[in-house]
Amino acid sequence: MIRAWRYVEGEPGREEVDPSTLDAAREPGTFLWVDIEHPEAAEVDEVARSFRIHDIAAEDLAHAGQRTKLENYADHHHVALHDIALGGEGVLLDGEIDLVFGAGWLLTVRHNRDGIDAVPIEDAVARFERQRIQHGSSDEGFAIWTILDDVVDRYFVLLDAVDERLDNIEETVFAPSTADPRPQAAFALRRVLVLFRRIVSPLREVVSALLRREAPEVGDAALVHLQDVYDHVLRALDLLESQRELLSGLLEAQLSVASMRMNRVMKATSSWGAILVVNTLVAGVYGMNFRHMPELDWYLGYPLSLGLMVIATVWLYLMFRRRDWL
């Protein structure tokens, strides 16, 4: 679905534009924003011809799955972003949004991938309209900033969800239970963090390139806002690295706890084995039934042998219990 809005310099509000008249809608002193949700190849080709988008960029727009990047062409630029969410089974749901912009126009292409809805655009449009009224400018840099800021804000939502799962894993690892904690949840979360880092880390370079004015269409006022986005990206990366270190520590602790519990089981098994060995030795010696065993003729031989086994059992049990083996 294609939607288009035109903003006239010095006039409040926006004009709805028929997608079939994009060429006529581009005039000096105007800013044209075109949005495509769930793009089809024919829609992308139509808009790409209107804006004279490079063939490589047009192909990327039609097929989702691009890495986070900024590519510069002769008179326009392509930014690929990823909007992500944490699924119920520890799966990272990935949605993609592509921005192509030039002097006086912006194209947003929102893909639906991995079961996550396309990135919502309404809030970004409303924020852009407030900024252009406040600054008296339709700089496309404000539109780019609103989208980047919304995406990065949702990164922190995912980081909060990861924090909750880390707390649950920590409680499971150190719970006073005889059952060994299963590491599946921890490994699934580590996979999420690895994929998340592949998405967030390149975004730092993308925003840094915009701040270095590799896209001259972004004005000075918008650069101030993009600096704030850059700071948020750095903060997200710091939190991500902290969570990765914490998760690595929990995995090591999980292995240590499992090893300690196994040692306790082995100690208990060895202790009871030692106790039974003594009783088995006594019973085995007096069960040989040799004819010339003097103890067989004793009147108190049987109760004495039972008493010896009881005394050995109690003494060994108390000794192992004092050493915390039982």
pLDDT above 60 for 179:
no
Q: At 191, is the pLDDT very low, low, confident or very high (cuts 50, 70, 90)? A: confident
Which residues of 9-163 form beta strands (DSSP E)?
Answer: 15-16, 30-37, 69-72, 76-86, 92-102, 105-110
Share the mean pLDDT of the chain: 85
The C-alpha angle with vertex 35 and arms to 30 and 40, in degrees rounded to 5, equals 135
**pLDDT-based confidence at residue 210 (cuts at 50, 70, 90):** very high
Cβ within 8 Å of residue 202, ≥6 positions away = 67, 68, 69
Of 267 and 290, which is predicted with more confidence?
267
How many CB atoms are closer than 10 A to CB 21? 11
3-class secondary structure, 324: coil
> What is the per-residue pLDDT across 41-78, written as a single tens digit (0 to 9) for each?
888 888 988 889 999 999 988 887 888 999 999 889 99
pLDDT value, residue 76: 92
What's the confidence (pLDDT) of residue 106? 92
Query: Which DSSP helix (H) or strand (E) runs through 3?
Result: strand 2-8
Q: Which amino acid is at 204?
A: R
Quick one: which of 166, 162, 138, 142 has its CA closest to 250?
166
pTM over 0.95? The answer is no
Model pLDDT, residue 117? 59
Under 8 Å between Cβ of 189 and 165:
yes
In angstroms, the CA 125 to CA 108 distance is 11
Q: What is the mean pLDDT of residues 150-156?
A: 91
Q: What is the mean pLDDT of residues 148-164?
A: 91
For the chain, the residue count is: 326
CATH of 2-257, one of 2.40.37.20, 3.40.1260.10, 3.30.460.20, 3.40.50.2300: 3.30.460.20
Q: What are the residue boundaries of the structural domains of the chain, listed by start?
A: 2-257, 259-322
Range 259-322 has CATH code 3.40.228.10: no
